[in-house]
């Protein structure tokens, strides 16, 4: 995975990115903000 050492839990698990879901859907107004467009363009 990476060379990051664990900080709290002694047992390390790997979670696929596809298994991580957002906590709440984004409002349409958020999707059109300049800040959100900047984040999308950096991916």
Contact between 29 and 36 (Cβ < 8 Å): no
pTM of the model: 0.39
Predicted confidence at residue 17, as pLDDT, reads 76
Question: Distance between CA 35 and CA 33 in Å, rounded?
Answer: 5
Residue 9 phi, psi dihedral angles, 5° rounding? -95, 135
Does residue 2 or residue 21 have the better pLDDT?
A: 21
Question: Distance between CA 4 and CA 15 in Å, rounded?
Answer: 15
């Amino acid at each position: 995975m990476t060379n990051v050492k664990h900080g709290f839990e002694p047992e390390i698990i790997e979670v696929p990115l596809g298994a991580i879901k957002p906590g709440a859907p984004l409002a349409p107004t958020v999707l059109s903000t300049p800040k959100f467009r900047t984040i999308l363009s950096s991916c």
